[in-house]
Structure 1
């Protein structure tokens, strides 16, 4: 886990990575990241992580999961993000941002005031959109995007990618997982279209591939581009590993470099058997079948377990979500436990760095 990884012109100091972690903390409802985001994301960088990816960040206002989400559709947001990326870089970590559109799962109550279902239109909510007019269970029915609407979404991703470059992020990730808009186009359970944006796998994957090409055109050839997939809907007849591997290969040919593999999120009542590393086999099979580089995520909390996953070649990096939130210095602790390089310690904390012969962390 503590070997650097080079992707295009970026070298990431280790493979202990932080995935997007939604915070629902923009109380001004303007999409501008706050001091909370600076401290939240900056603490992971100071704690030794190699890559810190900012939360699902909307490419337009109706793409927000909630009205407390971050955005990257205007200059004020760009300026606020730039302050954060500069700090992350100053700590030796790489910064990424997940470009997102929630589709039919947008316009819900933010975490601090969570209530069931969609936020009412007369209480700050908005009309949602999707591939087809089929609601997520308990949510408002979306409007199916027409050709012009789909083209506008692609342009919003393009503009967001340009803003990510201006905000000095080191890489961008397209969110195609967890039941959000791009995933809604990918899965036959939510995409009931019979036009060029639906039907067979090529049609259902078209939105993602168009977005990948648009983003790559904006960020140039030097900057890495990730895609996050849910490898399975956990429902018969839904999106699955085989389709994920095929589309990952197509996305790689279109300009994507790396694939962040999770699962689920499209269907509310899917039955998911969890446990330590329960999503790793999905990442591994996408890596093997698709011939692409992948990261694993999902209840991986042991440094030894994570190190074995990378050392064995099953995955190329590991994302630590809740483990990082519990301990923002997880990467430094993992390096100590594994006897790896601990040079990522900030100078201000060196007096606290344990020596190998000191025993306990």
Structure 2
């Protein structure tokens, strides 16, 4: 690749009050290196290296919101997940933010509530109940990468969330957005995908409520919209809000929120109206059409139907998506980037989120821009911060 081939990715972009030098975004990826929920100097250095490598925006790994049931074991052996409350954690995140800013970068946290995926009795507050919109974890026997032992432990129905519990979680998102603003983050990202709490309000398999929080697609979007609205009230007009959504769930890789563009508009319309600036349509591979009759991918459709900015994700810089075969993937090389640029140059999306390729090589953005060969992927680097 030559510099000219990818130069459109290096045109600056402003999103509300956030001025980005380029369109490359570090995707949120769970790292599990924050003992007691507190990011240390190693985490700060990890993020700073990506900013030094030229990445225009960093989105942190999922960060537990200020709610006792936000984090626990989700069947993935996670025990050092970061959170965004408490003096020690906030001081840790301030070091992260200051380091990224000193390197000339921008960074936003991905606010996260595991919801049904949290195994009861785990996490910082093991005695609190796990929260489920309708008491349902999800359907049994679907395609998933989760261990059978974990699924067996969590599959039994529980009680549904109460009105007060719903409001408590909405308030907790607002509290954590305020914390993010106060420590100097540049915006907010909301994890509304992959079968976690917000997503289980959106999904008909897990939201069977008959009150104002359930019903048709637009009604099931109310919880997500209220979360976004609460965040917007806290952070004001200048900070952008990103929102991640997905068709697939960890409970069911073949799940779908929408089978047509109109159905997707029903899902995303209320969330867009609540104050989202950028939609992040999480797919396993970016170069796949979402609906028959159009080449647009999921993020492209989000952009088309909401008029908001969109961010592509899924195997960028690699030759396969995360769950498509082996999870490592080789460097994608010219073909992968050419497919990406063809879609970007058509105006399908505005930002591109790079995941494992940036874990593999902190300077990936600089290497791409200057036409250097992109390094082969080394799965061992997933196990360390570097």
Normalised by the shorter chain, which TM-score bucket? 0.7 to 0.9
- 2:51 is aligned with 1:45: yes
- SS in structure 2 opposite 1:155? helix
Distance 1:329 1:61 in 2: 37
Residues 1-361 of structure 1 mapped to structure 2, 5 A cutoff: 1-27=9-35, 29=36, 31-59=37-65, 60-66=67-73, 67-107=79-119, 127-136=129-138, 138=151, 139-140=153-154, 141=156, 142-232=158-248, 235=254, 238-240=257-259, 242=261, 243-263=263-283, 277-278=287-288, 281-301=297-317, 302-337=336-371
Give the Å deviation of 1:216.
0.2
CA deviation map 1:87-135 (0-9, x unaligned): 111112110111110101114xxxxxxxxxx7769x9686311111112
CA deviation map 1:225-251 (0-9, x unaligned): 111111455546745564443333322
Distance 2:85 2:117 in 1: 19
User: Is the alpha carbon distance of 1:275 and 1:319 closer, same or farther for their aligned partners in structure 2, counting shifts above 3 Å?
Assistant: closer
Distance 1:328 1:252 in 2: 32
Matched positions, count: 316
Distance 1:246 1:93 in 2: 35
- SS in structure 2 opposite 1:23? coil
Please give the TM-score of this superposition, normalised by the length of structure 2.
0.76
Distance 1:129 1:80 in 2: 28
Stretches of structure 2 that go unaligned for 5 or more consecutive residues are: 1-8, 74-78, 141-150, 291-295, 318-335, 373-386
Give the Å deviation of 1:41.
1.4
Question: Is the contact made by 2:191 and 2:244 (CA closer than 8 Å) also made in structure 1?
Answer: yes
Q: CA RMSD in A?
A: 2.5
Distance 1:219 1:42 in 2: 24
CA deviation map 1:56-110 (0-9, x unaligned): 1111232115442111122322111011111111112110111110101114xxx
Distance 2:314 2:260 in 1: 16
Stretches of structure 1 that go unaligned for 5 or more consecutive residues are: 108-117, 264-273, 339-361
Report the equivalent of 1:356: none
- SS in structure 2 opposite 1:154? helix
Report the equivalent of 1:113: none
Report the equivalent of 1:358: none
Please give the TM-score of this superposition, normalised by the length of structure 1.
0.81
Distance 1:276 1:203 in 2: 29
CA deviation map 1:157-213 (0-9, x unaligned): 010000000110001011111110000001101111111111122321111111111
User: Is the alpha carbon distance of 1:26 and 1:124 closer, same or farther for their aligned partners in structure 2, counting shifts above 3 Å?
Assistant: farther
Question: Is the contact made by 1:277 and 1:300 (CA closer than 8 Å) also made in structure 2?
Answer: no
Question: Is the contact made by 1:283 and 1:295 (CA closer than 8 Å) also made in structure 2?
Answer: yes
Question: Is the contact made by 1:187 and 1:239 (CA closer than 8 Å) also made in structure 2?
Answer: no
